[in-house]
Structure 1
Amino acid sequence: MARLPRLTVTGYPHHVILRGNNRQDIFKATADYQRMLDLLAEHSKVQGVDIHAYVLMSNHLHLLVTPQLDQALPKMMQAVGRSYVQVFNKVHGRTGTLWEGRYRSTLIQTDRYLLACMVYIDLNPVRAHMVAQPEDYVWSSHRHYIGQRSDRLVTPHALYWALGNTPFAREAAYAELVQAGISTDQQGALTDATLSGWALGDDRFKASLQVQTERRLSKTKAGRPFSKGDKPVPN
């Protein structure tokens, strides 16, 4: 069966996962982490991609982004992936592939999942038992959002700005969201949708999104494929 193209629509937030091949480390030294951040900063600006949140784990990374131009996200990921591997292989004396195939991504419903996705990303190092608190992990955008540093890579989404009328209020409100965490259902939905490539949101969201893309947004039910001559059965 032919592989579906990635679901990418300008102006919508996307959750992205890029993994190391066979779960091998993609970062071996501090310079590797910094190089990845530099490449993301460079190519997100060139291609027109807003990066709202990120975390660089030892063998994979997560991004929450909004592409502002057509094909901006795949162009950014391709440029970053190729440039990073070239330097990584040279520095660490290796050859061959580093990535587990293509990056995985899903398009998410903003009001329902964007803040939850940010929390999901921030809590990755805690779930992996790498740190006790998300602010203890250096290689994520969490410290930016709680006011502990300024991160040039980050473009806050409008939903973050709506958390408070002052920087302190926004930072405190977001810190509370992260401390509260997300439900197992939300965590599973974000993971499954990203790995499968199906849009994540309610039926109304998917219906409004479908008019903007020819690509299917969710897995079809078993049975005869729907054709244009068929009449939908009323709910």
Structure 2
Amino acid sequence: MKLEILEKGYCYHIYNRGINGCDIFSNNDNKRYFLSRLKHYLIPHISVFAYCLMDNHFHLVIRIENDTELIQKVSNFFNAYAKAFNKQQNRTGSLFEKHFKRVRLESEVYLRNLIVYVHLNPTHHLNQDFTKFHFSSYATFLSNKPTALARNEVIELFGGFDNFVCCHSARQEFLNETYTFE
């Protein structure tokens, strides 16, 4: 399988899961540590448009700002997290599936839909209200707290704050509908 390279100026969907479907986060501290390592290793080399950390997988929507040795930086980020998690859990071996998945986004429509998809992950996988899920970037977009997220750019991508919220709610309502065929 040929892996997509990470090129400056392009947006990507980066995702992976635990090897054999195992959990990669056993508690909220693990998720906070993952985000701190993301910031340490990859900011300012990337802009983060969205993220969601589930127990056994994660999603990142990013844009590459500086591709100088970025693959090595990404590798260092994942390795640092895996080593810390393995030490904490008293386990050895691979934590993640072999290679992180990466898909280059070719259109703004796809980017907007992906951001909404990533934010709705808690609803899909945990049957939880995505607006209250702590380890998704959605709530950060709604707050005024300082953030490393590309908040203003993402809000503009949706045509404003109200439309950002509306697009998420409309998609959620669509997913909640049940269809019967007679």
Give the alignment's TM-score, normalised by structure 1: 0.68
Per-residue deviation, 1:173: 1.4
- Paired residue for 1:105, among 102, 105, 116? 102
CA RMSD, 1 decimal: 2.1
- Structure 2 unaligned segments of length 5 or more: list them: 176-182
Q: What letter is aligned with 1:26?
A: I
4+ runs deviating over 4 angstroms: none
- Distance of 2:72 and 2:79 partners within structure 1: 11
- Distance of 1:27 and 1:18 partners within structure 2: 12
Per the alignment, do residues 173 and 73 of structure 1 end up closer, same or farther by CA in structure 2, a change over 3 Å counting?
farther
Q: Which has the higher contact order (CA 8 A, sep 6+)?
A: 2
- Distance of 1:76 and 1:134 partners within structure 2: 30
Q: Match of 1:9, SS?
A: coil
- Tell me the residue number matched to 2:41: 43
- Paired residue for 2:12, among 11, 14, 18? 14
Aligned residues: 174
Preserved CA contact (<8 Å) 1:52 1:157: no
- Distance of 2:126 and 2:97 partners within structure 1: 23
Per-residue deviation, 1:72: 5.5
- Tell me the residue number matched to 1:24: 22
Preserved CA contact (<8 Å) 1:26 1:59: yes
1:150 has 2:148 as partner? no
Per-residue deviation, 1:148: 3.4
- Tell me the residue number matched to 2:130: 134
Per the alignment, do residues 96 and 162 of structure 1 end up closer, same or farther by CA in structure 2, a change over 3 Å counting?
closer
Percentage of identical aligned residues: 24
- The answer to which structure has the higher strand fraction is 2
Per-residue deviation, 1:151: 5.7
- Tell me the residue number matched to 2:180: none
Q: What letter is aligned with 2:81?
A: Y
Preserved CA contact (<8 Å) 2:12 2:63: yes
- Distance of 1:66 and 1:73 partners within structure 2: 12
- Structure 1 unaligned segments of length 5 or more: list them: 165-169, 185-235
Preserved CA contact (<8 Å) 1:53 1:64: yes
Which has the greater radius of gyration? 1
- Distance of 1:162 and 1:123 partners within structure 2: 18
